[in-house]
């Protein structure tokens, strides 16, 4: 039988394929990728892993004379403690060197300060002893008035008490009843000894101290009744009983050193961070918000 050449070629290819199959050769099959493992649901986090957390911001208002950054480290140290302990960012807002009557006046008319108080989460101020400057001078020179030469001292205490009440009530009114971290600072007798060192008898000094202690008691009593913590600079026995260690003060023996500032900042820190809604004094008129 005769065959065409092309047919023979095809037949030869078919036989080759059949022989290969008969000898156990296999055709390659495509590699199948195993199904992708689905990771478990990630724990929810407030921020993307590659982003820095946005910290809550607290505004911190500082008023007064001695516990200011211009002459102490207290505000910056206390701000550092708050940031570290509460995980927030502090914006420090410090005002001029204001005695109590200046604080009161600015709370009434300084719109920038009033706005800062409204927005502040933290407020500290020190109540300076300067309120006794003029009465003390008049008393030592026999010009204080009254049969005991003490009328001006009594008037000075009354004015200091009214200024204190006015400051606290204005802060409360401006804060519109919302909770705030309010702290006040009071100086001890060690400062009094420097401030009024001069020609006076021991009896005169005791008279002056009695009026200063009268105001201390009033301020601390009113603050306690309204839940306002008061820091005594420095802790006992370095408030009224003994002069503070020299290293707590600068070389002038008046202003706080870095070490003394840390002591005061630690006193503030020790009060904790419990916000409170402060009550107004009974019978006090409401300030214009």
* pTM for the predicted model, two decimal places: 0.74
Are 58 and 90 a contacting pair, CB within 8 Å? yes
Residue 117 has pLDDT above 90, yes or no: yes
User: What is the helix (H) or strand (E) element at residue 89, kind and residue range?
Assistant: strand 89-97
- Please, what are the domains in the chain? 57-270 (3.40.50.1110)
Residue 285 is predicted with a pLDDT of 41
Helices (H), 95-201: 100-109, 111-119, 133-140, 151-174, 189-195
Residue 22 has pLDDT above 80, yes or no: no
Alpha-carbon distance of 274 to 228, in angstroms, equals 11
Rg (CA), the chain: 38
State mean pLDDT over 212-219.
91
Alpha-carbon distance of 31 to 156, in angstroms, equals 97
Residue 15 has pLDDT above 60, yes or no: no
Residue 19 has pLDDT above 60, yes or no: no
pLDDT in tens, 146-163: 999 999 999 999 999 999
Alpha-carbon distance of 133 to 127, in angstroms, equals 14
Percent of the chain with pLDDT over 70: 73
User: What is the helix (H) or strand (E) element at residue 181, kind and residue range?
Assistant: strand 181-187
State mean pLDDT over 35-50.
36
Residue 26 has pLDDT above 60, yes or no: no
Residue 191 is predicted with a pLDDT of 65
Residue 36 is predicted with a pLDDT of 36
Residue 69 is predicted with a pLDDT of 67
pLDDT in tens, 178-209: 888 999 988 876 666 655 556 778 888 889 88
């Amino acid at each position: 039988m005769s065959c065409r050449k092309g047919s023979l070629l095809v037949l030869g290819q078919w036989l080759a394929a059949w022989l290969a199959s008969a000898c156990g050769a296999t055709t390659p099959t495509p590699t199948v990728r195993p199904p992708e493992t689905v990771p478990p649901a990630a724990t929810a986090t407030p921020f993307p892993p590659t982003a820095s957390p946005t910290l809550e911001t607290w505004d911190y208002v500082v008023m007064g004379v001695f516990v200011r950054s211009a002459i102490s480290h207290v505000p910056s140290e206390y701000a550092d403690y708050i940031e570290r302990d509460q995980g927030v960012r502090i914006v420090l807002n410090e005002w001029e060197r204001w005695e109590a009557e200046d604080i009161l006046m600015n709370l009434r008319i300084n719109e920038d300060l009033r706005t800062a108080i409204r927005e502040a989460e933290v407020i500290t101020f020190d109540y300076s002893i300067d309120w006794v400057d003029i009465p003390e001078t008049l008393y030592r020179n026999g010009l204080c008035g009254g049969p005991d030469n003490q009328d001006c001292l009594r008037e000075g205490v009354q004015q200091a008490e009214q200024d204190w009440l006015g400051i606290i009530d204005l802060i409360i009114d401006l804060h519109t009843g919302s909770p705030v971290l309010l702290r006040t600072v009071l100086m001890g007798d060690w400062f009094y000894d420097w401030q009024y060192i001069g020609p006076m008898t021991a009896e005169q000094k005791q008279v002056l101290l009695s009026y200063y202690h009268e105001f201390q008691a009033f301020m601390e009593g009113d603050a306690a009744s309204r839940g306002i913590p008061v820091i005594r600079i420095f802790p006992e026995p370095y408030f009224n009983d003994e002069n503070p260690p020299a290293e707590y003060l600068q070389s002038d023996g008046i202003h706080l050193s870095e070490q003394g500032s840390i002591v005061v900042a630690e006193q503030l820190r020790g009060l904790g961070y419990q916000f409170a809604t402060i009550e107004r004094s009974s019978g006090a008129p409401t300030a214009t918000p």
